[in-house]
Amino acid sequence: MKAGKLKESVLKRSLLRQLHTRRTDVIAGPAVGADYGAMSVDEETAIVMASDPITLTKDAIGNSAVIAACNDVACSGAVPMGVSVTMLLPTSFNEKELCILMKDIDNACETCGVDIISGHTEVTRAVKEPLVMVTAIGTVNKKQMVHSSNVRAGMDIVATKWAGLEGTAILAKEKEAELRTRYTQPFIDNAKVFEQMMSIIPEAAVAMKSGARAMHDVSEGGIFGALWELAESAGVGLEIVLKKIPIRQETIEICEFFDINPYMILSGGCLLIATYDGNGMVHEMEKAGIPAVVIGKATEGNDRVLLHEDERRFLEKTQTDELYKLH
C-alpha cells in the first residue's frame, strides 16, 4: 500500500467492516472523518480519546504528536487533560537525543495544558527513525459534545487561521537549502514560525461557546481532504469558494516551488467549524484574536463542489498528502 492515510475504500472495507464488538457505553467510535472516540462515564459526562503518530517529519515529532492528539480531542468540545506517550526508538538513538525529545514533548504538554499520565518507551530494531504515538484524553458534558456527523445542509463552514501551516513549516525547515536558491532567509524564517500556530484548542473553546455544531481538525491530506471527510461523515454536500479558503502567501510560493498542491498538504493549526451562524462565529473568533472566515456551506445531496470564478469542480476523496511526493 502507498504511504499515508488509508484510501477511504480500504478503510471502510478492510478496517471498519471488521469491527463487530461495541460496548453500549461507547458513544462515538471509529468512522470516516471522526477525530476522536468517546465513552459514557455517567448520565452527564463522557471520556474522549484520540491517538496520533507523527510520520511526515523528523523534526519536533514529540511536539507535533502531543498537539495533534490534543487537537482531535478538542474537536469534540472536550478539554484535553492528559496524554499517554509511546516512543519506539531505533538502536542508533542516544540518551542526549532522548532528553531533547522528552523536553519537546513536555513543552507541548505545557502548551496544551495537559499532563503525561502514562506511556511506554522502547528501543527496537523494528524502526529506523524514532516513532512517537500519543493518545490524548479529556472529558466533556455529553449534551455539549459535537461530532463531524452533526453537519446539516444550510450550515456555514468556517475555517480558522490558514490552510497548509504545518506543511509549510516542515518544508521551510527540512528543505531550507533548496528554498534559499529562490527565497530570502527572512521569508524562510517566517514560514518556520508557522509551527507555533499548531494548536486549535483556543478556537475550539471559542467555537463551543458560539454555536458550533461540528468541528474537524485539518491535518494530513490538507483542507481538501478535511472538507471531504467532514461532508462524508455527515452525508452532506458542500459548496466551497476556493478564493475564500485562507492561505498564507508563504504557503502558496513554497508549494509552487516544489510543484505540490497547497490545499493538500499537512494543515495542523486550521480548524473547520460547521454552524448556522458563520458570520457570528467569525466575529467571536476575531474578538478572541483568531483569524477566521466563512468559506462555504453544507448542501443537500452528496455533491462536494469547489467554486472558482465561473468554474465548478468536484472535491475528490481524501488523497495522499502532497508532502509524501517529496519523501
Q: Cell 502507498: give the residue.
A: 2
Give the distance from CA 316 to its chain's centroid: 18
Q: Where are the domains of the chain?
A: 35-141, 148-326
pLDDT (mean) for 280-290:
98
Query: Same CATH topology for 35-141 and 148-326?
Result: no
More confident residue, 327 or 214: 214
pLDDT attached to residue 10: 76
Task: At 185, give phi and psi (nearest 5°).
Answer: -60, -40
Band of pLDDT at residue 33, cut at 50, 70 and 90? low
Q: Would you state the pLDDT for residue 52?
A: 86
pLDDT of residue 147: 92
**Angle, to 10 degrees, between the axis of helix 278-287 and the axis of helix 201-209?**
130
The predicted model gives 178-198 an average pLDDT of: 96
Whether residue 130 is predicted with pLDDT greater than 80 in this model: the reply is yes
* pLDDT on residue 8: 74
The sign of the CA dihedral 143, 231, 135, 161 is negative
Query: pLDDT (tens digit, 9 = 90+) per residue, 204-246?
Result: 999 999 999 999 999 999 999 999 999 999 999 999 999 999 9
Q: Which CATH superfamily is domain 148-326 in?
A: PurM-like C-terminal domain (3.90.650.10)
d(CA 273, CA 214): 6
Does residue 3 register a pLDDT over 90? no
Least confidently predicted of 17-26, 116-125, 181-190, 216-225: 17-26
Question: Which bin fits 321, alpha (ψ -120 to 50), beta or left (φ > 0)?
Answer: beta
Q: What share of the chain is helix, strand, coil (3-state, %, to 5)?
A: 40, 25, 35
Mean pLDDT of the chain: 92
Percent of the residues in the chain that have a pLDDT greater than 70, as a whole number = 99
pLDDT over 70 at 35, yes or no: yes
Over the stretch 140-165, which tens digit does the pLDDT of each residue have?
999 999 999 999 999 999 999 999 99
Q: Please, is 239 exposed, middle or buried when counting C-beta atoms within 10 Å of its C-beta (0-12, 13-18, 19+)? A: middle
Average pLDDT over residues 236-264: 97
**Mean pLDDT of all residues in 279-291:** 98
Q: Mind listing the pLDDT tens digit for each residue in 56-69?
A: 777 788 899 999 99
Q: Which of 134-138, 264-268, 315-319 shows the lowest per-residue confidence on average (mean pLDDT)? A: 315-319
Q: Residue range 27-56: average pLDDT?
A: 84
Reported CATH class of domain 35-141: alpha beta
Residue 46 φ then ψ, to 5°? -125, 145
